[in-house]
Amino acid sequence: MTHTTADEELEGQAALYALGALDAEEARAFESHLAEGCAACEAELREFESVVSDLAFAAHAAEPPAGVRSRLLALVSEGPGHTTKGEETLPSSGGESGGESSGDGPNVAAPQTGGARDFLVVRAGEGEWRATADPGVSFKLLFADRERATVTTLVRMEPGARIRAHRHLGLEQCLVLEGDVRSGGIEMAAGDFNCSLPGSIHNELITDGGALLLIVAPERYETLEPRASAS
């Protein structure tokens, strides 16, 4: 059933869907409704998704808790030999199970020793670029944070490449280093930053001229089926 205008109940469904607050059954039902071609509900969802994408910028700046620096330095000093298999899995590698993994541990540089022991340096030519399930998209792991269950990666998109629509399972931070990328009505260029909240949904990510992204996020996300165009 489609509508010419969204009633209060459907507006609530669209808002909860944009926030990732619907359970799996409710989310599938709402997606099925969108697939029927309801332009009113699709328009409501786009509006709520735009609001959700701006929520991160409404937060006040906060100082990190005491002890964060010492814990981070202790973690870095352990070196790559202490990481768990599969931590190099990138959310953007596709697949509901979280994409591909080499099973050999993350390919990251070891901490500098001596006077530079407090720093981890990954040189531009170091690390391995790995293909993902999305054609023309590859990634390189820079760091795996076991305490926060996040990975820091470079994601490279060749001209015309696309990353499938997906739901974020945790907070994702993305900085565009080079090129262009767009999702829905949001366009980003070099220097632009985006923070995606847990449960938020990214429409298909597309680049025209190619892009290089720096991403800090959980190692997995949930890919989604493309939505049918509203009629």
pLDDT, tens digit, for every residue of 18-39? Answer: 777 777 888 788 888 888 888 8
Over the range 143-180, which residues count as b (16 or more CB within 10 Å of their CB) and which as e?
A: bbeeeeebbbbbbbbeeebebbbbbbbbbbebbbeebb
Domain of 204? Answer: 68-223
pLDDT at 4 over 70: no
**Quick one: DSSP state of residue 176?**
E
Based on the fold, state whether residues 171 and 104 are members of the same structural domain: yes
Number of domains in the chain: 2
Predicted TM-score (pTM) of the model is 0.52
Same domain for 212 and 130? yes
Q: Say yes or no: 49 and 162 in one domain.
A: no
Q: Do residue 78 and residue 191 come from a single domain?
A: yes
Indicate whether 170 belongs to any domain.
yes
Could you tell me if residue 229 is inside a domain?
Answer: no
Please name the helix (run of DSSP H) or strand (run of DSSP E) that holds residue 215, with its range, or none: strand 211-217
Residue 229, phi then psi, degrees to nearest 5: -65, 140
pLDDT tens-digit series, residues 86-142: 333 454 333 333 433 333 344 444 444 445 567 888 888 888 999 998 999 999 999
- Eight-class DSSP state of 169: S
> 99 and 48 share a domain?
no
Tell whether 111 and 12 lie within a shared domain.
Answer: no
Same domain, 46 and 124: no
Establish if 136 belongs to a structural domain: yes
Instruction: Give yes or no for residue 84 having a pLDDT over 50.
Output: no
How high is the mean pLDDT of the chain?
75
The CATH code of the domain that includes 100 is 2.60.120.10
| Pair 219, 150: CB distance under 8 Å | yes
Which of 67 and 47 is assigned the larger pLDDT? 47
Determine if residue 92 is left, alpha or beta; phi over 0 gives left, psi from -120 to 50 gives alpha, anything else beta. Answer: alpha
- Please indicate, yes or no, whether residues 160 and 87 belong to a single structural domain of this protein: yes
- One-letter amino acid for residue 85 of the chain: K
Domain match, 79 and 118 both: yes
In a shared domain, residues 25 and 78:
no
Token reading at 55: 């929520």
**Given a cut of 90, is residue 224 above it in pLDDT?**
no
Asked if 26 and 100 sit in the same domain, the reply is: no
187 with 138, same domain: the answer is yes
Whether 3 maps to a domain, the answer reads no
In a domain, 101, yes or no: yes
The answer to whether 200 and 18 are in contact (CB under 8 A) is: yes
Q: How many CB atoms sit inside 10 A of residue 93's CB?
A: 25
